Amino acid sequence: MEAVLESGKLLEGALCYTGDMLAPRRPKYDLDYYLALARELKAAGCHIIGIKDMAGLLKPAAARVLVPALKQETGLPVHFHTHDTSGLSAATVLAAVDAGVDAFDAAMGSFSGLTSQPNLGSLVEALRGGPHDTGLDPAVIRRFSDYWELVRKQYTAFESDLRFGASEVYLHEMPGGQFTNLKEQARALGLEERWHEVAQTYAEVNAMFGDIVKVTPSSKVVGDMALAMVSAGLSRADVEDPAREINFPESVISFFRGDLGQPPGGFPAALQRKALKGEVPITVRPGAVLPPADLPAERAKAERTVERRLSDEEFNSYLMYPKVFTDYAAFRRLNGPVEVLPTPVFFYGMSAGQEIAIDLEPGKTLVLRCQAIGETDEEGNAKVFFELNGQPRTIKVAVRGAAHLAARRQQAEDGNPRHVAAPIPGMVASLAVTEGQAIKAGDVLLTIEAMKMETSVHAERDATIARVVTSAGTQVEAKELLLELT
């Protein structure tokens, strides 16, 4: 914020809206809470106060109270951002407009509704002819929407299965950006049919963690814990039981360590102690304890890792998300500059008889024609016959979702204290033990990564590693045998 002000730019500070401001049963996030935040933002030099309603929880009645109160308290313009998960947000936007909001966010018609923002074209029409007429041309708005409607069709495979407004959001309070992602994570973990149980558990985790503000990345913490609990069949009582060993997701441990800062009201002390297993938490702003970064050294390390020079933009990505960027760089190294492919081809592949021209660089074009695609073999591969600049070629390609005939891996026996089972399906990201190694209760044995969720598996007792069944990089299913103990 200080850097923005030093640069002479416009500074908008946002407060995150959560809960129900007018509900007497939920006094933690009342009007005084938001006014106190607004005063802090003004004192920090903000020119605009933003209301970030990431889950679409702000109701019309609350908007009529909150907006004028913020304006009166700070004397600053107020900007309103919301999501339409429940189907109610257009009404809340109009209520905020009547209450004096200075700006609001909306989405092009073809991208609007559900977990996106409310429909811009509809809101413009609702305000037309009144004291808050936007002056926007509906014909222009429709032209933009028509264009993006065609673009959206190319991404059909990534559409969520959400077909209607979900009043369930007032139960779980998931941000719009997380709602559909968490559904996909649940599907990947085999929990698709138990989605409403996941949603209920999400609400229970939020209460267990002290009723926190759920927005990236704190919302991921709650979502990871909810998925872990449903996958493992754990209740809130199980998690809070001091005598029961729990494999907390890494994001949850990071949260209780204080890596995301200090939540309003603090952490639930007993649960924090259990998650950290004796580790001392951070009690100050996390950035204050970070050591200074040697950027030239970090750049050299990053370039050694990805085996090429990095642009400033790529280096920034590496600094913020080193593992994600490293995986991206490895994919690009293996597959080349896939951004030159037409979008449908990149997502869905070519069909027999299809021909495309790929512009690698000015004056360098490849003409690719798919002739035929063979049957899938027992290993899950298919032969693809094609022409590259008129020359016939053949290649074997792995078929996504093909049924492999590999033998089913061993399952852990329920109740067998010698067996360590996978708590969730995913990929074994790292192994921390070897055969013959002595371990203590609470030691990290391995980590499993699934759909951006990383979970460490800890030893429940003192033992020796008798057999390592799996290896790093292996895909495992829930309850699959990972290790055997003495």
Model confidence band, residue 30 (pLDDT cutoffs 50, 70, 90): very high
This model's pTM is above 0.85: no
DSSP assignment, residue 325?
A: H
Beta-carbon count within 10 A of 367 CB = 12
Beta-carbon count within 10 A of 28 CB = 12
Contact yes or no for 61/20 (Cβ under 8 A): no
Least confident of 98-107, 186-195, 431-440: 186-195
pLDDT single digits (tens) 390-428: 999 999 888 876 544 444 578 888 889 899 999 888 889
Q: What is the mean pLDDT of residues 337-363?
A: 90
Is the backbone peptide bond immediately before 342 cis, with ω within 30 degrees of 0? no
Q: Give the residue with greater pLDDT, 452 vs 184.
A: 184
Dist CA 49 CA 103 (whole Å): 10
Q: What is the mean pLDDT of residues 162-173?
A: 91
Dist CA 96 CA 91 (whole Å): 9
Dist CA 272 CA 256 (whole Å): 5
DSSP assignment, residue 354?
A: -
Q: Give the residue with greater pLDDT, 406 vs 151.
A: 151
* Phi/psi at 400 (5° precision): -65, 135
Q: What is the mean pLDDT of residues 43-72?
A: 98
Look at residue 318 and give its three-state secondary structure.
Answer: helix
Q: What is the chain's mean pLDDT, rounded?
A: 92
Contact yes or no for 115/174 (Cβ under 8 A): no
Least confident of 11-20, 134-143, 364-373, 446-455: 446-455
Whether the pLDDT of residue 56 is over 90: the answer is: yes
- Residue 408: per-residue pLDDT: 54
- Residue 401: per-residue pLDDT: 62
Q: Which residue has the tokens 């607004």?
A: 38
Question: Can you list the domains of the chain with their CATH numbers?
Answer: 2-158 (3.20.20.70), 204-288 (1.10.472.90), 291-335 (1.10.10.60), 338-398 (3.10.600.10), 419-485 (2.40.50.100)
Amino acid at 159: E
Query: Could you give the percent of the chain with pLDDT greater than 90?
Result: 70
Contacts of 48 (CB under 8 A, 6+ apart): 10, 11, 12, 13, 76, 77, 78, 79, 102
Model confidence band, residue 472 (pLDDT cutoffs 50, 70, 90): confident
- Residue 407: per-residue pLDDT: 44
Extract long-range pairs of 190-198: CB within 8 Å, 24+ residues apart: 190/425, 190/478, 191/227, 191/230, 191/231, 194/230, 196/168, 197/230, 198/226, 198/227, 198/230
pLDDT single digits (tens) 296-327: 999 999 999 999 999 999 999 999 999 889 98
Per DSSP, the residues of 214-274 read --TTHHHHHHHHHHHHHHHT--HHHHH-TTS----BHHHHHHHHTTT---TT---HHHHHH
Q: How far apart are the first and last CA of the chain?
A: 55
169 closest CA partner among 139, 191, 144, 202: 202
Amino acid at 35: L
Whether the pLDDT of residue 275 is over 90: the answer is: yes
Whether the pLDDT of residue 205 is over 90: the answer is: yes
Q: What is the mean pLDDT of residues 65-87?
A: 97
- Residue 337: per-residue pLDDT: 86
